[in-house]
Amino acid sequence: MTKPTIILGLESSCDETAAAIVADGHNVLSNVVASQIKLHEKYGGVVPEIAARAHLEHLLPVLESAFEQANLTRDDIDAVAVANCPGLTPALIVAVTAAKTLAWVWQKPLIAVNHVHSHLQSVLLEKPSECFPALALIVSGGHTSLYHCANPLELKILGRTIDDAAGEAFDKVAMILNLPYPGGPSIEKCANNGNPKAIRFPRSMLDKDSLDFSFSGIKTAVLYHCRGQNMLGEDRVPAMSDQEKADIAASFQAAVVDVLVKKTIRAAKQVSAKSVMLGGGVAANTALRNALQQRCDQESIQLFIAQKKYCTDNAAMIAGLAYHKLKANLLAPLSLEPQAQGA
């Protein structure tokens, strides 16, 4: 039997400090995530400087736990991988600096990974499948993108949001409804008791063939619904019943899911895709998972979805994508820098 290729992944692009050890790109030996939700919830979003300071505090304990859980030492590691883009620069720099240092001290190859692209790899963690070529929808807090993927390394962007990302819309609507941060899981929980047909929020499809997304209109529609047209009325949310809030959450979620599913199927048809992959934080949403599954079944398209535990940010997906880069000898120099942007 050949020895597996074992990669240490590090991730600090937003508000999760994460380390994971993954064998052969899919076998997760450990996956440790330190969340900073408590630190940012009072601001209703991530504050980059606070995130960076917390990453500094969490990184070493998270790294040690990853080795402990995997029952491995640094001698077992074949490469060190890190997400160097896109993300908040003060946050990214923590894991990037740690990864460069470890690669240098341990004399291991360094691999730089695009965080958004790695969400695709989360689909294959623990269950490697023959899913390429595929059409992929990545829905996160910062990105909503459709790609045509020939393989894990060849991603061609077909469409992206022209304003808010889907996760960002969930987070902003949760703020409007005074629901706890992060907004996605709060909206989903609240929506479980609501009627998705109670309010018909707009579904922005853009041009007939467009694969781009726009979610700022629906967010504004929720705002006007709660505070009156052009926000000239009183904020009705504090006086709303739980049922009224649940109906708004369910109707908003239904509108976002509707657009995501329609555009994904539109894209799959345009490129004649036989399989669709779904990843990113918003992919944890059960309504989205079920609706896309139903439409893919109707179109005889195979759907591959990340397990819920791997949808939100983690380092296992970083190590997963790094495996393919290592095989292709796509190594990073020790002068690697974080980059805020990256498709």
Length of the chain: 343
What is the spatial distance between Cα 272 and Cα 205, in angstroms, rounded to a whole number? 20
Q: State the nearest-atom distance from the C-beta of 168 to ligand KG4, in Å.
A: 6
If the CB atoms of residues 109 and 279 are measured against Zn ion, the closer one turns out to be: 279
Structure tokens at 35: 């969340």
Which of 184, 194, 320, 338 touches ligand KG4 (CB under 6 A)?
A: 184
Partner whose footprint covers residue 184, from ligand KG4, Zn ion, none (CB < 5 to 8 Å by kind): ligand KG4
Structure tokens at 115: 């965080």
Q: State the nearest-atom distance from the C-beta of 270 to ligand KG4, in Å.
A: 25
Q: Order of strands, edge to edge, in the sheet holding 27-35?
A: 27-35, 16-23, 6-11, 79-85, 110-114
What is the spatial distance between Cα 140 and Cα 191, in angstroms, rounded to a whole number? 19
Partner whose footprint covers residue 338, from Zn ion, ligand KG4, none (CB < 5 to 8 Å by kind): none
Which of 63, 99, 285, 317 touches ligand KG4 (CB under 6 A)?
A: 285
Q: State the nearest-atom distance from the C-beta of 90 to ligand KG4, in Å.
A: 16
Partner whose footprint covers residue 284, from ligand KG4, Zn ion, none (CB < 5 to 8 Å by kind): ligand KG4
User: Omega before 86 cis (within 30°)?
Assistant: yes
DSSP code per residue over 206-240: -STT---B--HHHHHHHHHHHH-GGG-S---GGG-
Among candidates 55, 103, 57, which has minimal Cα distance to 77?
103
What is the spatial distance between Cα 240 and Cα 229, in angstroms, rounded to a whole number? 17
Stretch that binds ligand KG4, among 75-83, 151-159, 167-175, 264-272 (CB under 6 A): 167-175
If the CB atoms of residues 90 and 280 are measured against ligand KG4, the closer one turns out to be: 280
Q: State the nearest-atom distance from the C-beta of 91 to Zn ion, in Å.
A: 12
- 331 HSE (CA, 13 A, CB side): 12
85 membership: H or E segment, kind and range? strand 79-85
Q: Which of residues 111-150 bind ligand KG4 (CB under 6 A)?
A: 140-142
Which of 90, 152, 281, 338 touches ligand KG4 (CB under 6 A)?
A: 281
Q: Which of residues 7-26 bind ligand KG4 (CB under 6 A)?
A: 14
The reply to whether 164 sits near ligand KG4 by the rule CB under 6 A is: no
If the CB atoms of residues 109 and 320 are measured against ligand KG4, the closer one turns out to be: 320
Structure tokens at 133: 């070529």
Number of residues that bind ligand KG4 (CB under 6 A): 19
Stretch that binds ligand KG4, among 32-40, 153-161, 202-210, 275-283 (CB under 6 A): 275-283
Q: Which residues bind Zn ion (CB under 5 A)?
A: 140, 313
Alpha-carbon 112 to chain mean position = 18
Rule CB under 6 A: which residues touch ligand KG4? 14, 140-142, 167, 170-171, 182-185, 188, 280-282, 284-285, 312-313
